[in-house]
A and B are shown apart, each in its own frame.
Chain A
């Protein structure tokens, strides 16, 4: 009797607790694991990662090359599959297919990426940033560990939905499987990703490219640069401060493109472009059209002070690697200058030479890469000091055999996004029914 009374008391106390606490009263680590356990596990992984970072900082060994990365992926997916199919009574597996694990791993990946978005990912002088590895998050142990947890949760729920396929889960599968494929292929593909830069010079074939670490790589074909071409925008007019040499902002408006016969307002001045020469050379009292390498554009302008009606006429020139620039001083504080023309378009006219003597002609342009022998060739840069007269063209060669898998993932997510837009939130429909 006495025992029974005591039991009732305990039960009442328990009930009271249940009312006051936000979650059902459940001891920590009592199954099923909830948010507390999930965050403890996740934060534990991050903490472990930081400790590992202090002890074993370099881990390029983790980057696998073909075919080992393929084996690793197949092994990983097989483990996930086996775990789901035959070990689903394990608490760890059951936890990973549940919501608290998903949400906590999304949150913690977000936290790690926030570190990446806050600390510049470049070598740092701060010893704490360097010691904790905050400037190389993408290869940080904590990031890798938490991302593995995230991926495993994602993989398990995807396997679950794929095995229990229903048409109404199409959107779910497209989004989750798409993300899983893109992430996995992106991660293991790093080992096979080759990004090379090749300096080519007009009239010369080039064969030796350099990778990101500056190591030489011999290409299976040579690139012969026939011609580097550049189109430029018209130069712009700008007012500069005589003392500081900085551009004075024209009330936040943009700089004006120089065109013959056009008049622009600049604060209290009016500037008229009398003559514009796209390529010119200095002569005794002005400029003349000259067409040779390094001839800069110039313009004759008339500056009128609208208040005093004072007029000044003179020449301005942007200058080039060969000729100095020329500004027109309009008062003690200000001068009118011509900016160096900006690149509008640049392209390389190339021949690709194979060891068997065959060749192929191509034009490389920004945003128009060329696929050749498993590589993709990109117009990267040129000698910007020389501008359009540059005889150097830098070409980037990229080989990424995992790209098709990434694209499949990306396109699945694109279809998933459209599907999501069209069907909208499911919660609302269920509640509306």
Chain B
């Protein structure tokens, strides 16, 4: 079992997940279909796990070194988090969202076969690499979803159809996303101590990750103490997402970029 078999496996997985998707979408009308959807997701996930296990044995090392392998792990963990979150919070769309992201990673791997052997600099070869990137990625995904909710709420306010439920959904997403953002930040600090000798060096990416964290911190505190001032809360949420976007891609374009260890583009 090597990467040569990947197209076959990825097609089976994506197909199973797609079937699950269709059932999940129809389950809004017919509740019983949710079980079928989850079964399809779990089946696809099982196939993926089997592939990873076989690849691991074949490579004689954990397949966590290259970018393609990293993406494989995203595809493994995202559905897991989606299903756990579903059982806790009962958000079907969220389950769909995480499966969709996982599917996207498989498709990226399918389309970019040459990245399998991409070299990885020694400092990145660490057990912290996967959890650090994974929780960040997941947190960004959830926080992005919360901003979509905020945009929708702004639009509803403009139309006069705003309901507090929208903000409650945003709150839950921010809490989930913020918890993961905190983990990403702290895992990064623990890793940095092992790799670079210090847990916090005010690297530009760190600075903006910290700012993102502060942005959502403001939102959480504001919401907590002023639960009825929805307009301001939505504005804060939208602003926090702007900071997140700067942190995610914007840092590379700021004058500070060339002093960062997180800038890997040449």
Contact = CB atoms under 8 A, between A and B. Distances in A.
A176 B87 CA distance: 29
A103 B117 CA distance: 48
Interface string B153-178: 00000000000100010011011101
Nearest to A366: B122
Interface string B182-220: 110010011001111111101010011011001101100
Contacts of B123: 366-367
Summarize B's interface: helix, strand, loop or mixed: helix
Contacts of B175: 420-421, 424-425
A116 B114 contact: no
B255 A367 contact: no
A166 interface: no
Contact of A424 (B89, B189, B195, B197): B89
B182 A417 contact: yes
A413 B126 contact: no
Contacts of B264: none
Given A414-B183, A428-B172, A120 B214 contact: no
A165 interface: no
A254 interface: yes
B155 to A, nearest CB: 22
- Size category of the B interface is 35 or more
Given A103-B222, A398-B198, A424-B172, A118 B186 contact: no
Contact of A418 (B179, B211, B251): B179
A119 B207 contact: no
Interface stretch (B19-27, B32-40, B95-103, B223-231): B223-231
Contact of B197 (A103, A342, A398, A422): A398
Given A345-B125, A410-B189, A417 B211 contact: no
B198 A121 contact: no
Given A113-B211, A420-B179, A396 B259 contact: no
Contacts of B208: 117
Contacts of B202: 116, 121, 138
18 contacts: A103-B218, A109-B214, A118-B256, A119-B256, A120-B258, A342-B121, A366-B122, A367-B125, A378-B195, A378-B197, A400-B198, A414-B183, A416-B182, A417-B180, A420-B182, A422-B88, A424-B89, A424-B176
Interface of A: 99, 102-103, 106-107, 109-110, 113-114, 116-122, 138, 186, 193, 195, 233, 253-254, 256-257, 342-346, 365-369, 376, 378, 380, 396, 398, 400, 403, 406, 410, 413-414, 416-418, 420-422, 424-428, 431
